[in-house]
Amino acid sequence: MKWPEFQKLIESRNFGGKISKDDLPTPALVVDLDIFEANLNKMASHLNAAGKGFRPHAKTHKCVEIAEACIRVGAVGTCTAKISEAEVFAASGLSGLLVTTPLVGSWRIERAVALALDKPDTIYCADHPANVDMLSEAAKAAGIELNVAIDLLVGGRTGIEPGKEALQLAQKIDTAANLRFAGIQAFAGPCAHTHGFEARKGASEAAMSLAVDTRILIERSGIGCRWLSGSSTGAYNIDSAIDGVTELQPGSFLFMDIDYAGIGGINNSVEFDDFGFSLSVITTVFSKPSKSVAIVDAGFKAFSTDRPFPPRLKTGDSKYNWAGDEHGRLDLNATDRSVELGDRLEFLAPHCDPTVNLYDSIYGVRGQQLEAVWKIAARGMTT
């Protein structure tokens, strides 16, 4: 297909059946819609059967169309890491927002108040008494009520210590002017990536039992604590079986990545394959310096670089090595597959969230056909 024709079809949004995967300019971030939908339906029905709420984390995809797809299969809302991400989803009409990171800084709190005026069911998190004061003062000044949960330290990065300290924070939120105590948010990040199902189960159960015990402690003090949200892709089938956890907030299951696949599945399987690889990056071989080397047009700016391993060919055994911002080097010594100039090669990302954040849009394909172009609307929303 000629480039102007491609541009015209994309602009007109009238490309159904007219653009194939092979027409996409590379590097192209692609989601296989059959696999994506299977991942989404599997998680939604698992949590539905377990009687748990489902509020997927949009830090993975930063995309309004994907958040909407989650709501269509029963999600109660959307998690965001940042207030600026939440603003994008609110502006598109979504509610049920949970900002999972504490809001410190007047620009964050002022925006949180403004957003709550429009979306009063938004939940914010605090892990420090001084932060509760900041939120309370801002809400009072605006004459509105904010829903505030405690962010609990259960092995993640932020949060207040479970038990007595958390109870005191809950009491402070409960009595603070213009705040409504929302419950507990407890994200045990490292547990999700523990290798081996039994080890992961032990780690996640230990972490989440701290949250459940804290919930009971708060309830016994006379403060209603009906909501406890947490968990992740790696612990979805562990935390969903824990009494007292009311809602799960996984994100990566939508796309999957090499990192997550390596944590191991149930029954000691080496690969965690409960969810399929829906995300990939299509590249083009744009240099062939020798028989045993092919250079593709995707380097540090096309894949996340935060993991100690490089991208992997979706099918095939040639090894990718980083070769610069815009370059990747394929070592062809280990394969008899012939790779020629202009060939298009598809790779899995080391880590999905930061890879997606490198692109303006994601191409949704079904089989070989382009079916959707979704803007990564909250890309770069870091504040």
Ligand X SMILES: Cc1ncc(COP(=O)(O)O)c(C=O)c1O
Nearer to ligand X, 215 or 327 (CB): 215
Distance separating alpha carbons of residues 157 and 161, to the nearest angstrom: 11
Nearer to ligand X, 24 or 126 (CB): 126
User: H helices of the chain, where?
Assistant: 3-12, 33-50, 64-72, 83-91, 106-118, 129-142, 164-175, 189-192, 197-220, 236-239, 258-261, 352-356
Give me the least distance between CB of 156 and ligand X, in Å please. 7
Distance separating alpha carbons of residues 297 and 278, to the nearest angstrom: 21
Look at residue 183 and give its three-state secondary structure: strand
Nearer to ligand X, 24 or 207 (CB): 207
Confirm if 355 and 43 have CB atoms less than 8 A apart.
no
One of 250, 299, 350, 364 touching ligand X (CB under 6 A): 250
Taking CB under 6 A as the criterion, which residues in 61-80 touch ligand X?
Answer: 79
Number of residues that bind ligand X (CB under 6 A): 15
Closest CA to 35 of 359, 181, 193, 254: 254
Segment contacting ligand X (CB under 6 A): 132-140, 243-251, 343-351, 354-362? Answer: 243-251
The residue type of 140 is K
Distance separating alpha carbons of residues 11 and 72, to the nearest angstrom: 26
One of 60, 131, 136, 318 touching ligand X (CB under 6 A): 60
Taking CB under 6 A as the criterion, which residues in 164-203 touch ligand X?
Answer: 187, 189, 192
Segment contacting ligand X (CB under 6 A): 2-10, 112-120, 250-258, 273-281? Answer: 250-258
Binding characters for ligand X, 38-57, by CB under 6 A (x = yes): -------------------x
Give me the least distance between CB of 251 and ligand X, in Å please. 4
Interface with ligand X includes 232 (CB under 6 A)?
yes
The alpha carbon of 9 is separated from its chain's Cα centroid by a whole number of angstroms, namely 30
Interface with ligand X includes 100 (CB under 6 A)?
yes
Nearer to ligand X, 131 or 249 (CB): 249
Confirm if 275 and 256 have CB atoms less than 8 A apart.
yes
Interface with ligand X includes 252 (CB under 6 A)?
yes
In the DSSP assignment, the letter for residue 20 is: B
Interface with ligand X includes 249 (CB under 6 A)?
yes
Q: Let me know how long the chain is.
A: 383
Q: Which residues contribute to the site for ligand X (CB under 6 A)?
A: 57, 59-60, 79, 100, 187, 189, 192, 232-234, 249-252
